[in-house]
Structure 1
Amino acid sequence: MLDEEHPKLPQSANDHNVYTLGSVQGHNVVVAGLPTTGNCSAATVVAQMRNTFPRLRFGLLVGIGGGVPTKTDAGPIRLGHIVVSKPVGQHSGGVQYDHGKAEAGEFVRTGFLAPPPTVLLNAASALQVHRRRVLEDPLIVHLNRINVSKRGLRAYKRPSSDQDQLYEPDYIHLDKEKSCKKCGCEASKRVNREVEDSDDESACEEDDDWLVVHRGTIASGETVMRDGLQRDALALKDKILCFEMEAAGALNDFPCLVVRGISDYSDSHKNDRWHGYAAAVAATYARELFSHMPVEQVKQCKIAEAVIRKMVETSRQAAEHTIDSRVRNWLRPADASINYVTASGLCHPGTGAWFLKSPVYKKFLQAPHGRLWLRGIPGSGKTVLASTIIKELRCADEEPESAIVYFFFAFSDDSKQRLEHLLRSLIFQLSGLHKSGRAYLTSHLKKYNDGGEQPPTESLVNLFDQMICDFRSVTIVLDALDESNGTQSILKWITSRNRCKFLLTGRPERDIEEALTQWLPSNCAVTLENEPVDDDIKAYVHHKLETEKNLSRWKSLHNLISDTLVEKAGGMFRWVYCQLEELSGCLDKPAVRLMLRTLPLDLNHTYDRILQNIPRSRVPNAIKLLQFLAFSKRPLSLRELVDAIATDPDSSIPFDVEDRLTPPDAIIGYCSSLVRLTGQTVKYKQHVSASASAFPYASGVRPAPKSDAGSELDLEAGSDAGSETEYGHEPQLELAHFSVKEYLLLHRNETPYQESFQIPVANAMITSTCLAYLWTLQNTHLTNLMDATYGTGRSEIRTEFPLTDFATRHWLDHARVAGENQEKLFFWTSRIFVDKPFMMFWLEVCYPAREWGLMYDKDTAPALYYASLGGLDRSVRLLLDKGADINAGSGIGRSALQIAAHEGHVELVEVLIKRGADVNARNQCLRGPNSGSHITALTAVSNNGHVRTVQGLLEHGSDINAGPRTLHEMTFFSGTALRAASANGHLDIVQFLLDHDADVNSDRCASALHAALAGTHKEVSLLLLERGADICAHDDDYGTALDAAVYGGDLAIVKLLLERGAHNTRWGLQGAVEAAVSANRLDLLETLLLHYSERDRKNGVLNDALRDIRPDTDKRIIRILLEKGADILHFKNGLVVQACSRGSVAILESLLDFGAKFDRDSDPLTCSLSKRPTRDRQASSNQGREAKP
């Protein structure tokens, strides 16, 4: 490949490389081969080369590699193709896939390789463009320089295409010394690439006249990649195109471009047949690359030695910054600081001082695990007091390694209401207070498909418990417990966190009081009494009277106003605020005196008066504004609400931009005392990934820890969790106080407008407004529809018409709640389903990646599908009457019956069955693990618990044992109807299915018994066992029946299974013991070990369990494992690392007591503990964190 070969030069005796010198296209080139494969060999060669040739600018690492059978812009990767490194995303073009460290129990890769120099990247791009423009491939010209007719060069001849064979990733080549033919590899296990690539018009043709080049990430490691499954997993994670074994060694010390000819598919079917040709094509690419690098430009490049370290560090920092951003975007913590800052801003100087001086608060501060419950009536200033306490705690906190974190539950913000939201926020706050925080979060992200999946609530609980081990003390302030959703799960979590100090605020609601009674020490429940609160109210009123322009003019009445308001406030700051707002509108002193004589008794009567005092001309818009704020599915921005108010569904042209309110914040004037503009911003989605799914996912399989979220329609729920999204931010308008929402929703108002706040009426108004707004956009404002909904035009729509995002994503949510009994609503819902351009406009704006137009050429399935998704019976009947094909697929995989069953629309399912829907139609939605968990309508209704519908489906011929037929389907679907019902504890349905001949063992890989055991559904489990469920079956999700029972955590069920011999399988106690240790359940472990056998010893059951213990694992559990014979010598080092890194003295003590010996120089804590007598170790433990390394 050289134009000219130069004579050899003298080299150092320490340089053992063999060099070939020459020139290519005017560039002087040094060629060195590697004596062996591997990063170490490459690093050695590069180091010696740099010493001998100190003026080297950069390098090309040319050779062979194992390809990943994926597709790029150049088509599918095949043998004989070329892969060239190129920076992609966070990667520099090269990743070291087997280099990393253990952080928080996870392997975190630290191999960030230097990116190729710019001159090489530019040359590669220029070469790519040049090849597209020429008729003859220059790479083929160079390849023909090799005369393969010569005996010595025959190894570089291209093998025939029939020798390019790709096998399924899980199909193993048994004897690596033999070829696939001699080894007897089955032809049926080969991947049919012709079928796979038939629809890929961009793929380059496989011929002898053109070489295919792919550019992207190349992975380097010390071990040969011979595993198809591992190959695919790593490739999917980091978008890897090729695996090799030298780049990491070179790139760590030298700026290089990696060029690899593909000689195999990185699986167990490796062979040497393609090695020569793959090396030759890589060399031809390297030669041609020099043609696109001007000599003068290369001379201007900095010498490699001077820049490589900076390049590596820059790459590493960029990657770490990207990881931090990914972690935050994945965790999505609610910003509690907004509530804190808002509440602090409302705090008058001196407010709450009485509480900070109180004995009960001082006692709370002094207690190691203090608990305090502040309860008060609505509007008594609890949130403002909470902000004062937080500020005081932070100012007084001088203790090292202590944490003060907080959370404000908020009725107006859906992201601040559930246990999951609380945990995400607290975890994020903790991560910034300790150096190990980032490692915890990064490890957790990788655990969940590198951020592609969201962790269940239980996983967040465990993460929080691990993180607080790094602190001597953790104080948590939680405000407005009464505004939470799923209060019982939050209270259960609070009362089981014994290591934390808690200060809670909220209303004295019965369920909260009952849950906290046993948990709180005596005299730690404080009611905000009127007397001290009245002092704060008096100071607040005096401040407002002196500073507010409209109030300061009545100086002669200030004492009267103050005395009257304080006397009648009853400890309610909120009530006082509303009265001051009304007083500020008085025009003269008589009006002030009249209002003071007729003050409303409480907040409800206050709100009645506010509504009744709204000018008649403003009433319609004021009521509509309150409907949106009280009932909308998400918070709304100022600009969104302006457009909502400007939309009139009864008008022939519902929306006109000229009708917008200006300025936008004037909207507060409609009912200023009932709404407020906050510093918080609405976050709304600007873009939906092409892989987004229209199906909300409802899990009916494994009862993972459930969040407190109610089941609601969410058109985004199936979106690819790992897809990139953009967000917009807008100022948010919300109801001024929780009591306002209660007033509106609980029908406490006694005004003529009460009916407007009935749930169906308000949701019908929101739905009609949304659809009228969208219809106007389609017919009036967007004349060039199809062009406007793609690319930047879609973003422009949302910018110019801000209500678009809410309207497209949530009108169906509100229609579902409202029903179609109101004619005004049915007018608009039927209009969008029947009017195809209108329907297509909605789908294009909401899901722009879908080619909905193609579906309309065939049938009206999308309309029928979405009407069924929303449970809109009248629209479904209308579409069927107009000829919609009831069994047509939606184009996304489901029929109308399937989605109606999935969503639990019982009456609609019955309608569809009677109208001829195919009850055995199978779900074809195979686009991701969350694409939909139910294979047929029967499994869906069994999961949801509708006995009557199950009966109706069976009467119409539904296959009772339908389930996944293939391993591929098992990836996406839950199993049979029996399993779905068992997983959710629907005893009546399980009984019904069994009575109608459901096969209790029909799906061994997804067992109904295992699902019931894991869900702790004892009665269902007993029924299945009585009906012959196989206790020895192995489930893909849970393992053995015993594993599933331990996962469920019911001791009685575990004992029952042991009595029936569930441990007498080839797996024994393996898995079950680990699950008990992981759950920190001493009782379960002791029960299991009563049946410990020789088989379990051989299986290493105890060793596996000991390896998985955590710093917070019960010390007695560790002792039992060691006493039973766990191999301490084998696992002690890993345990010591855990113990020292988290300060867990208990683990070290247990190991030392059982004779473990450690290097006394390795760690001060282990050294000091190992030197002490056993009786002295408890003293060290009692010192707590003072002994922390």
Structure 2
Amino acid sequence: MATPRALESPDLYNIGWITALPIERAASTAMLDERHDKPCGFVQHPSDTNSYTWGRIGEHNVVIASLPAGQIGTTPAATTASNLLASLPQIRIALLVGIGGGIARPEEGRDIRLGDIVVSQPQGTTGGVVQYDLGKAKLNKEWEQKGCLSAPPPVLLHALAAIQAEYELGESRISEFLNGTPKLKKGVSGYSHQGFENDRLFKASFDHTGAANCARCNDEEAIERIPRDTTDPEVHYGIIASGNTVVENALTRDEIVQEVGEDCMCFEMEAAGLMNHFPCLVIRGICDYADSHKNDRWQRYASATAAAYAKDLLGYVPFRGLQETPRALDILRSVRQNIQEVHTIASETKSGIKSLQSDSHHAKLKTWLSPPDISTNLTDALKCRQQGTCSWLLQSEKYREWKSGKRQHLWLHGIPGCGKTTLSAAIVDDLMQQLQTPHVVLFFYFDFKDIEKQSLNKMVRSLVTQLYSSCVDSRAELEKLFLFCEKGDRQPTETALLTTFLEMSKHAESLQIVLDALDECSVRSDLLKWLEALSLSDHEGLQLLATSRKEEEIESGLGHWLDCTSIILIQSHSINQDIRTYLHETLRSDRGFDRWHRRPEVLDEIEAELMLKADGMFRWVVCQIDSLKNCLDLRKLRRSLKTLPATLEETYARILMNIPENYRKEAIRILQFLTYSDRPLTVDEVVDIIVVEPDEEPLFDSTFRMPETREIMRICSSLVSQVTRQRGESTVEELQLAHFTVQQYLESDRVDGALSLMTVAGDMTRICLAYLSQVDEGKSLTAIKEELPLAMYSAESWIDHARYSETRPDVEKSILNFFLHQSQAYAVWGKLFDLDQPWNGPLWCADRKTAPPLYYASLAGLQHTVLGLLDNGAEANADGGAYGNALQAASSVGETHIVRLLLDHGADINVQGGPYGNPLQAASIRGHKDVVLLLLARGAEIYSQGLYSDALYASAAEGHEEIVRLLIDHGA
């Protein structure tokens, strides 16, 4: 037998492999493709008592260590891991490989069998392993979850995704490794499958009755499972529960799983010891079901299946990617620092010390979460509320029951324009005025006017931020998420945020949540699912009150869980009480009705006529008030009162029709931008919007601005409103559509073509491009923002509008002129906005190099513009941009038609460059099947190297199964 060779340096070993039992180490050692002797120059740390096995699997060198003989559990595991890193600080990734007890639930689709493999996979804020403490039961008998294992490095997670994709295609090599390992075949027979007849899952209520291998256990107590037709083990991915005591009782097992609250698949005893010592992936072969029927029969085979899977997994870890992964020791130092910070925060919170809860720390968390400012919605709504209104609701029996905690949830619904937002503001105000510790009030306004206030994601960011500020005891939960996200260097997932909010809410003894305008949420289905999950919370002190229109989707979604007695219909006669109060006060205080103050009977007449037709529509009344202000004499007033429009739609149509002809163009333009802009616009921006003339010279002249910007409200006052907003440290005046019903009307087919999407998007594109042409490249960013307030919006938004309108001849002409003949405007645009990284702010650096126009047009999906540029001589292979060239940019974003155009005009199909290496790999990584098909049909080189070796590996690493099959079908 040949003597094992010794590598020239211990630095060549980057993978640590830890086992607990000798049989686990034996199985792992048998999987080595080559055994090595101790490397030259290896000096074991004085405190390190480990014994090591050295070797190679594929292209990776591996060092195996195991716990001392006869010792199991978290402490020996921690010692082994610490010693390994002390002697081998160059280790970059780690695997914990061995046996575990399966948590099989075939009735729930989790049919785990003996010999199967469970792999820890991060979920939400959990790194894949949760720790529980069997030695410390709380007074309420809940098990204490003590922590979670850090997530493995990205290189392992990518390998995990790739191997899962391959296994979906039937490409597992586990059986090959089990059957093809001579040392296992000629060793102890226990390393082979132990027979289906010896794999029985008994009911949790049935205890073991004697005999080593359950020979006396009643078969009738076994759970019936669908027979398998192969002994090949299956692989399951999820959470592994780790503790310091053997679990060998089914009832205890199920109790821990239920109380820990994680969707656990397996128990084991070492991973928890590595939490602060060795971030790793845990791989467990299932040798028992963590019940009283536990025995040793399956341990060797389970050790072998886990080791075989680990070997297969390493085949998906790219050597280059491994070398670029930080050392485990460096990751460990960061983890320990973060854990210490969490401990410090928790300790200081308990002792009342608030140094870490300083304004700067709060500001950092708030910047990280970036919640929308919903206080403005509350303030604006309260301004609209007249004293004495909303009392019918605040004094109602159902509301008082909800407020006192006797009723858990309420839904208020009513017709459009009935004043629901004002009602919700009155509720929040009432709750806050009555607020007593430990009550916490949270609120959120979904808002059609602001894209930042239309999603579930933004809602939970706001609620989490409010709860953090209001409930000190809840803060540690958010701090954990903050540290999990590398102290704010990366954003949390929506799932992680929702989970964190639920965990935080448990620390508030009484928590009341008010959500306004569910119908203005852009992702209603997700919101309704979350509300249903919230309703199932066992937190009895958590209460929800929501308002919306009565729409079928909302009614159906809430109807699954909301008791019909917890619904309040906002009836017309109730709102009419508030409308009467509003009218009486407004008619006597608004200066627009000063002319009638000496004739109170006229004011009474106006009030009576409006009340006669209001029918609970607050918004309708507000519009009529604005219209009646223009009646200068009694005849005109009475004629108007007799011809009042019957509905909101008729009201809006009449307002549009009555706009003076000399301001109709400006009014339409204002409504175009306010209806289709994806963010609120300042008054200064809107003032400049109506000055731009794309078809005249000069395109923009600041001397034509309105001398009194506040007078812009006079152009279409009843359809828009002006509000004061806080932007950072500055206060700005914004213009917005007055109500959700206004936007719905303007987007409907009942309005003329000037407000159709194609028309609006085209006009907005041309206005933005014309405005950019007026920006002086020599000025500072501060000067540009002050002198040309529409510049930032124009730079950020024109290309979005162009996507909907570039086929319009005049729009196409404007775009091509901008790209080909306005070099200064083009350079200014590149400095104000980076299309490659749109999340960045203004760049404005003099030396920034913009990519060629063809690159940006390809990246943005402007097909007609791409063709126009190519016809005008644009070089299809020109370098530039984050993706390297136009073809790779189009491939990365899935623009199949543009890819075809570029290829037709001579683009190099195998061009190298950019982050992905080549177009085929870019499309494969991003999952764009049609682009991959086109590139293959045009002769793309399948084996061309890039970020993930070749395209096959890239698509597998990202889990794109269809593309994997497609590449294989084409010879990969």
Same fold (TM over 0.5): yes
> Judging changes above 3 Å, is the alpha-carbon distance between structure 1 residues 849 and 627 closer, same or farther for their aligned structure 2 residues?
closer
Distance 1:630 1:761 in 2: 13
- Residues 640-682 of structure 1, C-alpha deviation per residue, up to 9 Å, x if partnerless? 1111121111112111111111222221111011111112245
Q: Residue type matched to 2:561 in 1?
A: W
Distance 1:948 1:942 in 2: 10
Tell me if 1:679 matches 2:724: yes
> Judging changes above 3 Å, is the alpha-carbon distance between structure 1 residues 107 and 953 closer, same or farther for their aligned structure 2 residues?
closer
1:940/1:980 contact within 8 Å kept: no
Tell me if 1:433 matches 2:415: no
Tell me if 1:507 matches 2:549: yes
Which residue in 1 is equivalent to 2:604?
A: 559
Which residue in 1 is equivalent to 2:485?
A: 448
Tell me if 1:982 matches 2:960: yes
> Judging changes above 3 Å, is the alpha-carbon distance between structure 1 residues 529 and 854 closer, same or farther for their aligned structure 2 residues?
closer
1:631 to 660, 676, 689: 676
Where does 1:6-405 land on structure 2 (aligned, <5 Å)? 230-231=329-330, 320-367=358-405, 370-398=408-436, 400-405=437-442
2:781/2:844 contact within 8 Å kept: no
2:758 to 757, 760, 769: 760
1:368/1:501 contact within 8 Å kept: no
Q: Residue type matched to 1:813 in 2?
A: D
Where does 1:899-914 land on structure 2 (aligned, <5 Å)? 899-914=889-904
Work out the number of aligned pairs and report it.
Answer: 631
Which residue in 2 is equivalent to 1:881?
A: 871
> Judging changes above 3 Å, is the alpha-carbon distance between structure 1 residues 836 and 548 closer, same or farther for their aligned structure 2 residues?
closer
2:475/2:504 contact within 8 Å kept: no
Which residue in 2 is equivalent to 1:210?
A: none
Distance 1:361 1:319 in 2: 35
2:588 to 546, 550, 554: 546
Q: Residue type matched to 1:952 in 2?
A: L
1:682/1:732 contact within 8 Å kept: no
Q: Residue type matched to 1:737 in 2?
A: H
Distance 2:582 2:440 in 1: 32
Which residue in 1 is equivalent to 2:732?
A: 730
Q: Bigger relative contact order, structure 1 or 2, given CA contacts below 8 A and separation 6+?
A: 2
Which residue in 1 is equivalent to 2:970?
A: 996
Distance 1:903 1:833 in 2: 24
> Judging changes above 3 Å, is the alpha-carbon distance between structure 1 residues 682 and 854 closer, same or farther for their aligned structure 2 residues?
closer
- Residues 511-567 of structure 1, C-alpha deviation per residue, up to 9 Å, x if partnerless? 111101111012222221111111111111111111112224333222322222122
1:900 deviation in Å? Answer: 1.9
Tell me if 1:618 matches 2:663: yes
2:762/2:808 contact within 8 Å kept: no
1:821 deviation in Å? Answer: 2.2
1:996 deviation in Å? Answer: 3.2
Which residue in 2 is equivalent to 1:483?
A: 520
> Judging changes above 3 Å, is the alpha-carbon distance between structure 1 residues 853 and 327 closer, same or farther for their aligned structure 2 residues?
closer
> Judging changes above 3 Å, is the alpha-carbon distance between structure 1 residues 885 and 978 closer, same or farther for their aligned structure 2 residues?
farther
- Residues 431-479 of structure 1, C-alpha deviation per residue, up to 9 Å, x if partnerless? 1112234444343322212212111101111110111111112111000
Distance 2:716 2:946 in 1: 56
Which is further off, 736-745 or 552-561? 552-561
Distance 1:381 1:491 in 2: 22
> Judging changes above 3 Å, is the alpha-carbon distance between structure 1 residues 946 and 893 closer, same or farther for their aligned structure 2 residues?
closer
Which residue in 2 is equivalent to 1:819?
A: 806
Tell me if 1:917 matches 2:907: yes
Which residue in 2 is equivalent to 1:568?
A: 613
Secondary structure in 1 matching 2:393? helix
2:888/2:914 contact within 8 Å kept: no
> Judging changes above 3 Å, is the alpha-carbon distance between structure 1 residues 592 and 923 closer, same or farther for their aligned structure 2 residues?
farther
Which residue in 1 is equivalent to 2:748?
A: 746
Secondary structure in 1 matching 2:544? strand
Distance 1:599 1:887 in 2: 64
1:618 deviation in Å? Answer: 0.6
Which residue in 2 is equivalent to 1:1110?
A: none
Q: Residue type matched to 1:955 in 2?
A: A
2:461/2:497 contact within 8 Å kept: yes
Distance 2:415 2:146 in 1: 44
**Gaps (5+ residues) in structure 2?**
1-144, 151-278, 280-318, 321-325, 338-352, 835-841
Which residue in 2 is equivalent to 1:460?
A: 497
Tell me if 1:772 matches 2:814: no
Tell me if 1:495 matches 2:532: yes
> Judging changes above 3 Å, is the alpha-carbon distance between structure 1 residues 233 and 648 closer, same or farther for their aligned structure 2 residues?
farther
1:644/1:803 contact within 8 Å kept: yes
Secondary structure in 2 matching 1:403? strand
1:885 deviation in Å? Answer: 2.2
Distance 1:979 1:229 in 2: 22
Which residue in 2 is equivalent to 1:413?
A: 450
- Residues 898-937 of structure 1, C-alpha deviation per residue, up to 9 Å, x if partnerless? 2223333332222122223233334523xxxxxxxx5544
Q: Residue type matched to 1:794 in 2?
A: L
> Judging changes above 3 Å, is the alpha-carbon distance between structure 1 residues 609 and 890 closer, same or farther for their aligned structure 2 residues?
same
Distance 1:576 1:801 in 2: 38
Distance 1:236 1:800 in 2: 48
TM-score, normalisation: structure 2: 0.60
1:682/1:730 contact within 8 Å kept: yes
2:786 to 795, 799, 804: 799
Q: Residue type matched to 2:934 in 1?
A: G
Where does 1:1124-1143 land on structure 2 (aligned, <5 Å)? none
Tell me if 1:863 matches 2:841: no
1:508 deviation in Å? Answer: 1.0
2:952/2:964 contact within 8 Å kept: no
Q: Residue type matched to 2:939 in 1?
A: G
TM-score, normalisation: structure 1: 0.50
Secondary structure in 2 matching 1:623? helix
Tell me if 1:956 matches 2:938: yes
> Judging changes above 3 Å, is the alpha-carbon distance between structure 1 residues 431 and 318 closer, same or farther for their aligned structure 2 residues?
closer
> Judging changes above 3 Å, is the alpha-carbon distance between structure 1 residues 316 and 605 closer, same or farther for their aligned structure 2 residues?
closer
Q: Residue type matched to 1:645 in 2?
A: I
> Judging changes above 3 Å, is the alpha-carbon distance between structure 1 residues 501 and 824 closer, same or farther for their aligned structure 2 residues?
same
Distance 2:952 2:374 in 1: 37
Distance 1:105 1:338 in 2: 39
- Residues 50-80 of structure 1, C-alpha deviation per residue, up to 9 Å, x if partnerless? xxxxxxxxxxxxxxxxxxxxxxxxxxxxxxx
Secondary structure in 2 matching 1:526? strand
Which residue in 1 is equivalent to 2:880?
A: 890
- Residues 334-373 of structure 1, C-alpha deviation per residue, up to 9 Å, x if partnerless? 1221111111111111211111222222332344561111
Distance 2:958 2:424 in 1: 45
Secondary structure in 2 matching 1:397? coil
Secondary structure in 2 matching 1:476? strand
Distance 2:469 2:706 in 1: 43
Where does 1:588-667 land on structure 2 (aligned, <5 Å)? 588-667=633-712
1:829 deviation in Å? Answer: 4.2
> Judging changes above 3 Å, is the alpha-carbon distance between structure 1 residues 569 and 825 closer, same or farther for their aligned structure 2 residues?
farther
> Judging changes above 3 Å, is the alpha-carbon distance between structure 1 residues 359 and 316 closer, same or farther for their aligned structure 2 residues?
closer
Distance 1:997 1:430 in 2: 56
Distance 1:740 1:449 in 2: 44
Aligned-residue identity in percent:
33
Which is further off, 464-473 or 810-819? 810-819
